[in-house]
Structure 1
């Protein structure tokens, strides 16, 4: 009697950016209930795992009672069934976690690891290539179809990862005296989060002075000042104001040599 051939391992893909989707062997999962999908993405956003009472409170604003515990068990069963594996979510000492294989199949998890790998690379050009490869897949809002405090927190963490990547890229170009590319990366960082450190806005003003002209730098300063006043109720730091005045006076705040284009 011969053994039956082993079934191929299903291939998973978790798309959390743009139009969120979960694919198994290229086919989208049809969710039997919204609660099962919400549970998946909540655990995706908390790879360290969460206790049942935390999940009930964050997802459905419920206390942990026998009735709500049953609702959780139903959602958990539906999630495992939809993904076709009983170990899709594991429980240890009361903490529920998404299986590592599913996390590894997630676009945002791969993005975060790629940014960290790029920062650990010793060769600047290798670091740049890894950062560009990672950031190329970072388009789209994180889980745009979901609402709630927990998902907004996860979105902020995702944006922070993207901003971190663009700032690291800008420093690489700055060190290589590639001012136009440094300015591009800083513009991308600021577009994802205008509240990046004010020193980065100062660097962008310097880059714009070098790559375009003082008017572009002053225009960025004015937009930043307007944003602070209307969105935050604050004003730029004294150092930023002084930098703007020096640029208006014709000073070139960047001490780098010739601008390199690629």
Structure 2
């Protein structure tokens, strides 16, 4: 009996800012859209998923014989496209991408970088790990893919990107590298405008110190507009007071300790 072909090390799954699989740098051609859909669903469910759940959540189907046949065809095409019968494993009814394929993706690199930062021996090693993580984070997870399952995975990976940017800002802020701290915080709030309001406050103080009060107040106004239009809420009174102080020409970072905490207080960087 012929052994299954090994998982190609030249495969790579691009999911952040894109949704494409490459082999030796060239995009794969999919024989059917259902095979590609199954790939991304399984990528979003690293622990695997039962056939009935795949059918219901991905295609809105009940687990009938006809639907089960559709699943088998999509699975066969997916394995063939990825070049190995082991590309998707099945254990006690749960289907999952092979760990080697999961490891060959940008999300794996993102979370590996965060884990490396968490256990880094010093600030230099921590910063290097964070930059490795963010180097692959070009955008949202599987942009354009719809479904509650995709939204949940998108939020998970977005939160990881935000944690990386906030941790990087914390490092820069502790070293009083204000422009770099402002840049990292700007990236964090761009990823998720609903990041904690304290981070918006920190960004306002960084902007006041590095780009002047007009930039800081403009960020505050954009934040107010976002909360009003998207959430139906208003900023906290502390944030409004901070904006007023900046309007009056204060640079609060130096005298209110709104700068980032010491390195030992880095945000949680776990998965």
Normalised TM-score (structure 2): 0.86
Structure 2 residue 157 is the aligned partner of structure 1 residue 158 = yes
CA RMSD of aligned residues (A): 2.1
Structure 1 or 2, whichever has the larger Rg, is 1
Aligned positions of 1:100-139 closer than 5 A: 100-139=99-138
Cα deviations across residues 27-72 of structure 1 (Å, max 9, x unaligned)? 4322111111111111111111111111111100111122211211
Shift of 1:248: 2.3
Cα distance change of structure 1 residues 8 and 87 upon mapping to structure 2, 3 Å threshold:
closer
What TM-score, normalized to structure 1? 0.89
Tell me the distance in 2 between the aligned counterparts of 1:243 and 1:9.
Answer: 55
Give the length in aligned residue pairs.
252
Moved more, 10-19 or 96-105: 10-19
Deviation string 1:69-119 (CA, Å, 9 cap, x unpaired) is 121111111111111211111111211111001011111221121122123
Structure 2 counterpart of 1:3: none
Deviation at 1:142, TM superposition (A): 2.5
Give the drift of 1:9: 6.5
- Between 43-52 and 133-142, report the one with greater CA deviation: 133-142
Distance 2:197 2:6 in 1: 52
What CA deviation, in whole Å up to 9, does each residue of 1:156-175 have, x standing for no partner?
Answer: 22221111110110001111
Matches of 1:114 and 1:53 in 2, distance apart? 34
Gaps of 5+ in 2: 258-271
| Separation (CA, whole Å) in 2 of partners of 1:140 and 1:45 | 16
Q: Which residue of 2 aligns with 1:46?
A: 45
Residue 253 (structure 1) shift: 1.6
Aligned match of 1:193: 192
**What is the distance in 2 between the residues matched to 1:144 and 1:237?**
32
How far apart are the structure 1 equivalents of 2:17 and 2:190? 17
CA contact (8 A) 2:52 2:63 kept: yes
SS at match of 1:143: coil
Give the whole-Å Cα distance in 2 for the aligned partners of 1:13 and 1:98.
13
> In structure 1, what is the Cα distance between the partners aligned to 2:227 and 2:191?
15
- Pair 202,26 (structure 1): closer, same or farther in 2 beyond 3 Å: closer
Q: How does 1:163-182 map to 2 (within 5 A)?
A: 163-182=162-181
Deviations 1:169-199 (Å, cap 9, x if unpaired)?
0001111111111111001111111110000
Secondary structure of 1:234's aligned partner: coil
In the alignment, what sits opposite 1:28?
A: 27
Q: Which moved more, 1:196-205 or 1:18-27?
A: 18-27
1:204 alignment counterpart: 203
